[in-house]
């Protein structure tokens, strides 16, 4: 049987560029496969996806050589409309692609375009919504859906056409842990039950490697690895060289020479137990005690803070009291809508509490004044100067700090470039540099890791750590438990506006039940540590060290 | 003002929400033609009242009423003031003098600026024309799903590219407004105070500082949306088979609307012929009376 997708020596150069974004790509995808395409930001993954459904070359205005065949037919000979019946494309941000205002209308759109009978459309919409877990929401406004539901709606909007393949561009980068898990389980179920081919582009390997059987790794527009996911994960140096984060269960298995490594936490626990039967948990020493609570100056204090957007709405935050001291890096976690971003807006003075008291450096925060700096989730909206240098110099307390800051964040060579024309990672670092140049005492970061590859995440986290070490305080919202465990000195978990947990990472990630209630997943290392030793471990290194210690103890 | 939900179409079950998008577009075209051809203030007033009644029937929220009122006030004020001051037809009777001809420099330059009674009345008529279209425009956008609007425009044979551009513009206006608010917020957080940029050069600089990020983000969004819609089969080879036929009620409403428009148009035409002395039909006296009074 012919492969579903055949790509033969594909090279594509965008009209505005001199070098190709993808070069000499050759690959085949068989019907029913579940394929992961991964690689550093800007390596050509999304461009490759667009070639699969004909947007390239039909709608992209660049130069394409080689060919893409779908079910044996060259995509050049088919229109995008014809291809839409065979390949559905889901983009990264559901907000950017949802076109209708009602759930039913969004799903029906593709069917109407195919000229189906209205009766059939109604049936198909109902079935598709049931398949993606949105049954009964036909008449709901799309604005009432959560982030995860919107992503499932975006998926339903292409699935309704019953394509033979769906391709998804970073589908879980914008959703919380719960939403990501639901979407991936849905894709697995669809792939297994209907045989639909799934191609996913994603950075978050932790979540996706557990479900993808085949992985394709790209670098600088070329495929540098194409094979079984398990084989790729057995070669950690390849992933690390390409700036990708190895899933913690894999890291743990590899660190213990357990091959092939497990991709899931439960698999890692099973493999470790099977491979190392001499584990002796009782011989393990407690993890080294963390540093004592900083006794530095209080920079932020919240006392019984209540806020509501509408008079009739619920309070979010709902009676929150906390203090943040110099030197602390505080991660705020919780499901979408828990009140994380509202908390940041109260701290930067954009919102005022309905009751209670917010103090930053002892005074009521006023937006734009005082010493609170914030980097927003979407850095694009913060950049308004003609060059990177001007952007960083804008509001800088001391012009002499601009050049060193640019160098520190790897922006020195881009100083004369237009900020909005930079890559996403570069734009975020420019926004961060612009905020740091104002010498804030408190740095607020709203989901700083969204859409960033691991190399960029590391750079941002290190910068935040340095800032705190120099006498500042950092408060950041995140869904990424590994980042929170790795870089925060303290974690706050919010649920429906209330502080559910507020402690050091180890203590917070020991509260499995409360975390689950708040829609927060602990890092895999914590789950493995809990299963093997009834202890909360925060990193792969800690798990490996414990296992080794246990073996020696046994 | 900057809240996205304030501008976007809202799902609803009122008769206005349920009214077919194709009929709403026909009504838009009829109203658009009507407000140009109709000179009678009382008919224009009734049309404005009817469009406002449409909002009541659509259960427009209080926040939207406030927004609509703001737009209507700006349109009415702009139209009436400009016409009152710059009315150049005769006769014209000044009811107030803003700048006397004897005023140094300005008086000489302008020969005096007056408020004319006839200008005010003409401005009021013009204001009602603008307000009718504004009110109906808001009603259409707030009660019609963008997807239905797109299909309806294509159904009425508007070229696909134009339809898509028009609807995408509507779809994006709330997003752009909401992101403009975010940009202003970001500027505030970075210590940039727009109030400090009151000089002309400062105002231009501020405008660009706000415009760049909004434009860049809007372009990125627009590209994604266009690709998403294209890859869901919408294109120049679009087929209309899925557009359901109009319901009998819809057909009746459409026929009634078109018949009323045609009759009014014919009456106006007959009246214009009679008024200019080009043609007079004795049997049409009641038509002339009706047109003089209502059209």
pLDDT in tens, A256-280: 888 888 888 989 999 888 887 766 6
pLDDT of residue A280: 62
Give the orientation angle of helix B285-294 with respect to helix B41-57, to 10 degrees. Answer: 70
Does A5-245 match A298-519 in CATH topology?
yes
Burial of A178-199, coded b for 16+ CB within 10 Å and e otherwise, reads: bbbbbbbebbeebbeeeebbbb
Same domain? B134 vs B97: yes
pLDDT(B238) > 70? no
Whether A63 shows a pLDDT value over 80: the answer reads yes
**A199-203, A369-373, A521-525: the lowest-pLDDT one:** A369-373
ipTM at complex level: 0.75
Query: What would the mean pLDDT of B24-47 be, rounded to a whole number?
Result: 87
Same domain, B139 and B3: yes
pLDDT at A327: 93
pLDDT band at A527 (very low <50, low <70, confident <90, very high): very high
Chain B nearest-CA residue for A393: B190
A295: burial class by Cβ within 10 Å (0-12, 13-18, 19+)? Answer: exposed
Candidates A161, A201, A156; CA nearest to A182 is A156
Closest-CA distance, A233 to chain B, in angstroms, reads: 32
pLDDT at A313 over 90: no
Check residue A443 and give its pLDDT.
Answer: 93
| Spatial contact of B107 and B101, defined as CB atoms under 8 Å apart | yes
Q: Do A112 and B192 touch (CB under 8 A)?
A: no
Averaged pLDDT for residues A8-17? 87
Task: Kindly state whether residue B268 falls inside one of the protein's structural domains.
Answer: no
Q: Give the Cα separation of A513 and A520 in Å (integer).
A: 10
Instruction: Name the residue of chain B whose CA is nearest to A443's CA.
Output: B189
What average pLDDT does range B168-189 have in this prediction?
77
Average pLDDT in the A14-39 region?
A: 89
Domain co-membership, B90 together with B206: no
Is residue B53 located within the same domain as residue B131?
yes
Q: Residue A213: which residues within 8 A CB-CB, separation 6 or more?
A: A33, A34, A35, A228, A229
Domain of B85? 1-144
What is the pLDDT confidence band of residue A165, given thresholds at 50, 70 and 90? Answer: very high
Determine, for residues A99 and B212 on separate chains, whether the beta-carbon distance falls below 8 Å: no
Determine the pLDDT at residue B198: 64
B186 and B135, same structural domain?
Answer: no
Mean pLDDT of A477-506: 92
Residue B15: per-residue pLDDT? 85
> Do both B140 and B194 map to the same domain?
no
Q: At what angle do helices B117-143 and B62-86 cross, to 10 degrees?
A: 150
Select from B5, B225, B234 the Cβ nearest to the Cβ of A97.
B225
Say yes or no: B82 and B220 in one domain. Answer: no
Asked if B152 reaches chain A (Cβ–Cβ under 8 Å), the answer is no
Prediction pTM value:
0.75
**Subunit contact A395:B192, Cβ cutoff 8 A:** yes
* Domain assignment present for B20: yes
Distance (Å, rounded) from C-alpha B180 to C-alpha B2? 8
Kindly indicate the confidence band of residue A314, based on its pLDDT and cuts at 50, 70 and 90: confident
- pLDDT, position A200: 93
Q: Which of B195, B217, B225, B232 to mutate to test the interface with A (most CBs of A within 10 A)?
A: B232
Contact residues, chain A, for B234 at CB < 8 Å: 81, 109, 113
B163 CB neighbours in chain A (<8 A) are none
Chain B, residues 131-150, CB within 8 A of chain A, namely: 145-148
Whether A161 sits inside 8 A of B233 (CB atoms) is yes
Q: What is the mean pLDDT of residues B228-233?
A: 83
- Return the residue in A79, A83, A93, A113 with the most chain B beta carbons within 10 A, the one to mutate for interface testing: A113
Residue A540 burial (10 A CB sphere; 0-12, 13-18, 19+):
buried
Contacts of A392 in chain B (CB under 8 A): none
B190·A435 Cβ contact <8 A: yes
| Inter-chain contacts counted by CB atoms under 8 A, chains A and B | 168
Mean pLDDT of B35-53: 88
Pick B237's closest partner by Cβ from A81, A102, A380: A81
**Neighbouring-strand partners of residue A88:** A166
Q: Give the closest-approach CA distance of B140 to chain A in angstroms.
A: 14
CA–chain centroid gap for B60, Å, is 17
d(CA B68, CA B62): 10
What was the pLDDT predicted at A553? 65
Residue with more model confidence, A1 or A449: A449
pLDDT of residue A125: 93
| Mean pLDDT for chain B overall | 81
Compare A112 and A227 and report the one with higher pLDDT: A227
Which chain B residue has the Cα nearest residue A53? B231
CB of B11 within 8 Å of a chain A CB? The answer is: yes
For residues A87 and A51, what is the distance between their CA atoms, to the nearest angstrom? 11
Range name among A380-384, A474-478, B181-185, B195-199 with the lowest pLDDT average: B195-199
Same domain, B120 and B209: no
Nearest to B183 by CA among B199, B200, B207: B207
Q: What percent of chain A has a predicted confidence (pLDDT) above 90? A: 31
Q: Is residue B35 pLDDT above 70, yes or no?
A: yes
Inform me whether the pLDDT recorded for B218 exceeds 70.
yes
A141 contacts: CB under 8 Å, gap ≥ 6: A101, A102, A103, B10, B11
Chain A hits for B8, CB-CB cut-off 8 Å, are 101, 143
pLDDT at residue A30 above 60? yes
For position A281, what pLDDT does the model report?
60
CATH architecture of A298-519: 3-Layer(aba) Sandwich (3.40)
pLDDT for the residue A263: 83
Q: Quick check: is B280 in a domain?
A: no
Residue A405 is predicted with a pLDDT of: 86
Could you tell me the CATH superfamily of domain A5-245?
A: P-loop containing nucleotide triphosphate hydrolases (3.40.50.300)
Cβ-Cβ contacts under 8 Å, A56 against chain B? none
Q: How confident is the model at residue B190 (pLDDT cuts 50, 70, 90)?
A: confident
Q: Which of A511, A495, A552 is nearest to A338 (CA)?
A: A495
Facing B191 at nearest CB: one of A102, A141, A369: A369
Residues B57 and B173 placed together within one structural domain of the fold: no
Q: Pick from A37-46, B13-22, B127-136, B155-164 the range whose average pLDDT is largest.
A: B127-136
Reduced to 3 states (helix: H, G, I; strand: E, B; else coil), residue A68 is strand
Is the Cβ of B64 closer than 8 Å to some Cβ of chain A? no
How far apart are the C-alpha atoms of A202 and A213, rounded to whole Å?
Answer: 14
Q: What mean pLDDT do residues A400-425 have?
A: 85
Return all residues near B94 (Cβ < 8 A) that are at least 6 apart.
B114, B115, B116, B117
Minimum-distance CB partner of B182 among A81, A381, A394: A381
Beta carbons of B146 and A96 less than 8 Å apart = no
Residues B25 and B136 in one domain: yes
Give A136-164 as a DSSP string.
Answer: T-TTSBGGGS-HHHHHHHHHHHHHTT--S
Mean local confidence (pLDDT), B61-77: 89
Helix (H, G, I), strand (E, B), or coil: what is residue B141?
A: helix
Q: Is the pLDDT of residue A473 over 90?
A: yes
Structural domain boundaries in chain A = 5-245, 247-290+520-554, 298-519
Neighbouring C-alpha atoms within 13 Å toward the C-beta of B250:
15
Nearest-CA neighbor of B238 among A169, A81, A85, A298? A81
H/E element, B94: strand B94-99
B238 contacts chain A (CB < 8 A): yes
pLDDT higher than 80, residue A14: yes
Answer with the one of B114, B144, B174 that is the final residue of a domain.
B144
Q: Taking residues A135-141, report their average pLDDT.
A: 85
Q: What is the four-CA torsion angle of A495, A496, A499, A503, rounded to 10 degrees?
A: 20
Kindly indicate the confidence band of residue A293, based on its pLDDT and cuts at 50, 70 and 90.
low
**SS3 state of residue B33:** helix
In the sheet with A372-375, reading across from the earlier edge strand, the strands are A372-375, A442-446, A473-477, A329-333, A490-495, A498-503
Nearest by CB to residue A105, choosing from B145, B182, B235, is: B145
How close B174 comes to chain A (CA, Å)?
13
Q: In chain A, what residues touch B170 (CB-CB under 8 Å)?
A: none
Look at residue B275 and tell me if it is in a domain.
no
pLDDT mean across residues, chain A: 86
From the candidates B4, B5, B11, which should be mutated to test the interface with A, based on the most A CB atoms within 10 A? Answer: B11
Q: Which residue of B has its CA nearest to A392?
A: B190
Residue in B5, B185, B241 nearest the CB of A350: B185
Q: Measured on CA atoms in the order A67, A68, A72, A78, is the torsion positive or negative?
A: negative
Average pLDDT over residues A228-232: 88
- Joined tokens for residue B146: 């963008």
Which member of A80, A121, A374 has the closest CB to residue B235? A80
pLDDT at A347: 92
pLDDT at A226: 93
Q: Reduced to 3 states, what is the DSSP secondary structure of residue B145?
A: coil
Domain count, chain B: 2
Which residues in chain B are closer than 8 Å to A391, comparing Cβ atoms? none
Least confident range of A297-311, A482-496, B108-122: B108-122
B231/A55 CB distance under 8 A: yes
Nearest to A285, CA basis, from A540, A537, A509: A537
Element (DSSP H or E) covering residue A305: strand A298-306
Pick B231's closest partner by Cβ from A53, A140, A369: A53
Min distance A51 CA to chain B CA atoms (Å): 11
A505 with A324: CB under 8 angstroms?
A: no
Mean pLDDT (whole number) for B33-47:
86
Q: Tokens 């105002």 appear where?
A: B203
Measured between beta carbons, the chain B residues lying within 8 angstroms of A114 are 233, 239, 242
* Gap between the Cα atoms of A542 and A535, Å rounded: 11
CB pair distance less than 8 Å for B188 and A367: yes
Strand order in the sheet with A214-219: A87-90, A165-169, A197-201, A34-39, A214-219, A222-228
Chain B residues within an 8 Å CB radius of A85: 233
In angstroms, the separation between the Cα of residue B256 and the nearest Cα of chain A is 26
B63 occurs within a structural domain? yes
Residue that is last in its domain, among B228, B244, B261: B228
Query: Cβ of A292: how many Cβ atoms within 10 Å?
Result: 6
Bridge partners of A214, per DSSP, are: A35, A228
Determine the residue among B143, B165, B233, B241 to mutate to test chain A binding: the one whose Cβ has the most chain A Cβ atoms within 10 Å: B233
Which of A464, A471, A515 shows the shortest CA–CA distance to A486?
A464
**Cβ within 8 Å, pair B242-A115:** yes
**pLDDT at residue A43, rounded to an integer:** 85
Report the pLDDT value the prediction gives residue B174, as an integer from 0 to 100: 75
Say yes or no: B90 and B52 in one domain.
yes
pLDDT at position A475 is: 95
Phi, psi values for residue A311, rounded to 5°: -55, -40
Residue B2's pLDDT band (cuts 50, 70, 90): low
Q: Is B163 exposed, middle or buried (0-12, 13-18, 19+ CB in 10 A)?
A: buried
Q: Nearest CA to B138 among B6, B49, B294? A: B6
pLDDT of residue A396 exceeding 60: yes
> How much is the average pLDDT of B225-246?
71
Considering the domain architecture, whether residues B111 and B169 belong to the same structural domain is answered as no
Cα–Cα distance for residue pair B146/B167, rounded to 1 Å: 6
pLDDT higher than threshold 90 for residue A56: no
pLDDT of residue A472: 92
Among A408, A469, A394, residue whose Cα is nearest residue A438:
A394
């Amino acid at each position: 049987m012919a492969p579903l997708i055949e790509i033969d020596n594909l090279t594509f150069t965008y009209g505005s560029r001199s070098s190709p974004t993808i070069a000499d790509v050759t690959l085949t995808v068989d019907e029913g496969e579940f394929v992961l395409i991964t690689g550093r930001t800007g390596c050509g993954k999304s461009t490759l996806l667009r070639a699969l459904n004909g947007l390239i070359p039909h709608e992209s205005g660049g130069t394409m050589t080689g060919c893409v065949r779908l079910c044996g037919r060259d995509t050049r000979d088919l229109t995008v409309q014809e291809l839409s019946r065979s390949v559905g494309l889901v983009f990264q941000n559901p907000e950017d692609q949802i076109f209708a205002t009602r759930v039913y209308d969004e799903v029906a759109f593709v069917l109407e375009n195919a000229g189906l009978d209205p009766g059939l459309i109604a049936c198909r919409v109902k079935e598709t919504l049931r398949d993606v877990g949105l049954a009964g929401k036909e008449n709901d406004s799309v604005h009432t859906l959560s982030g995860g539901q919107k992503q499932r709606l975006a998926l339903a909007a292409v699935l309704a056409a019953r394509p033979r393949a769906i391709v998804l561009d970073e589908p879980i980068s914008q959703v919380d842990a719960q939403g990501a898990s639901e979407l991936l389980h849905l894709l697995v179920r669809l792939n297994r039950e209907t045989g639909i081919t799934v191609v996913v582009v994603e950075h978050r390997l932790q979540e996706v490697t557990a479900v993808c059987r085949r992985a394709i790794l790209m670098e600088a527009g070329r495929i540098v690895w194409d094979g079984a996911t398990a084989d790729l994960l057995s070669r950690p140096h390849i992933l690390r060289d390409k700036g990708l984060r190895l899933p913690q269960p894999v890291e743990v298995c590899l660190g213990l020479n357990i091959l092939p490594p497990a991709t899931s936490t439960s698999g890692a626990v099973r493999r470790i137990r099977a491979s190392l039967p001499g584990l002796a948990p009782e011989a393990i020493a407690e993890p080294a005690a963390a540093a004592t609570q900083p006794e530095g100056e209080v920079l932020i204090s919240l006392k019984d803070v209540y806020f509501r957007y509408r008079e009739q709405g619920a309070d979010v935050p709902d009676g929150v009291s906390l203090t943040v001291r110099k030197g602390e890096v505080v991660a705020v976690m919780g499901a979408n809508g828990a009140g994380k971003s509202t908390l940041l807006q109260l701290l930067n003075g954009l919102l005022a509490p309905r009751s209670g008291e917010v103090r930053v450096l002892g005074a009521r925060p006023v937006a734009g004044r005082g010493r609170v700096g914030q980097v927003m989730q979407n850095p694009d909206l913060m950049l308004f100067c003609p060059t990177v240098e001007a952007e960083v110099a804008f509001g800088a307390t001391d012009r002499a700090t601009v050049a060193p800051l640019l160098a520190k964040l790897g922006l020195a060579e881009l100083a004369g470039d237009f900020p909005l024309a930079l890559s996403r990672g570069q734009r975020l670092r420019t926004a961060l540099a612009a905020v740091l140049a104002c010498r804030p005492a408190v740095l607020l970061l709203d989901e700083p890791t969204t859409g960033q590859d691991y190399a960029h995440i590391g750079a941002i986290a290190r910068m935040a750590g340095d800032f705190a070490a120099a006498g500042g305080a950092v408060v950041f919202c995140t869904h990424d438990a590994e980042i929170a465990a790795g870089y925060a000195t303290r974690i706050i978990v919010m649920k429906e506006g209330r502080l559910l947990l507020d402690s050091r990472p180890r203590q917070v990630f020991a509260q499995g039940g409360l975390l689950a209630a708040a829609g927060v997943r602990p890092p895999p290392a914590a789950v493995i540590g809990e299963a093997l030793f009834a202890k909360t471990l925060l990193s792969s290194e800690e798990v490996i060290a414990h296992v080794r210690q246990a073996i020696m103890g046994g | 003002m900057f809240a996205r939900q304030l501008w976007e179409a809202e799902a609803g079950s009122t008769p206005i929400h349920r009214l077919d998008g194709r009929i709403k577009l026909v009504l838009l075209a009829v109203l658009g033609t009507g407000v140009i051809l109709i000179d009678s203030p009382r008919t224009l007033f009734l049309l404005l009242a009817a469009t406002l009644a449409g909002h009541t029937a659509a259960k427009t929220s209080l926040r939207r009423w406030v927004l609509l009122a703001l737009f209507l006030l700006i349109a009415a004020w702009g139209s009436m003031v400009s016409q009152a001051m710059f009315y150049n037809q005769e006769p014209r009777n000044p009811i107030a003098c803003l700048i006397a001809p004897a005023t140094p420099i300005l008086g000489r330059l302008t020969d005096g600026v007056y408020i004319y009674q006839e200008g005010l009345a003409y401005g009021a008529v013009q204001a009602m024309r603008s307000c009718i279209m504004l009110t109906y425009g808001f009603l259409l956008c707030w009660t019609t799903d963008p997807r239905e609007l797109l299909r309806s425009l294509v159904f009425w044979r508007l070229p696909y590219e134009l339809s898509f551009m028009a609807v995408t513009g509507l779809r994006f206006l709330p997003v752009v407004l909401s992101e403009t608010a975010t940009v202003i917020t970001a500027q505030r957080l970075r210590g940039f105070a727009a109030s400090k940029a009151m000089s002309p050069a400062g105002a231009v600089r501020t405008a660009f500082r706000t415009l760049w990020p909004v434009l860049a983000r809007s372009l990125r969004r627009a590209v994604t949306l266009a690709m998403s819609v294209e890859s869901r089969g919408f294109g120049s080879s679009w087929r209309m088979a899925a557009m359901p036929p109009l319901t009998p009620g819809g057909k009746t409403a459409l026929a009634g609307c078109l018949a009323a428009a045609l009759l009014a148009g014919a009456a106006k035409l007959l009246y214009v012929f009679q008024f200019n002395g080009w043609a007079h039909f004795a049997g049409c006296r009641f038509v002339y009376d009706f047109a003089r009074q209502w059209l």
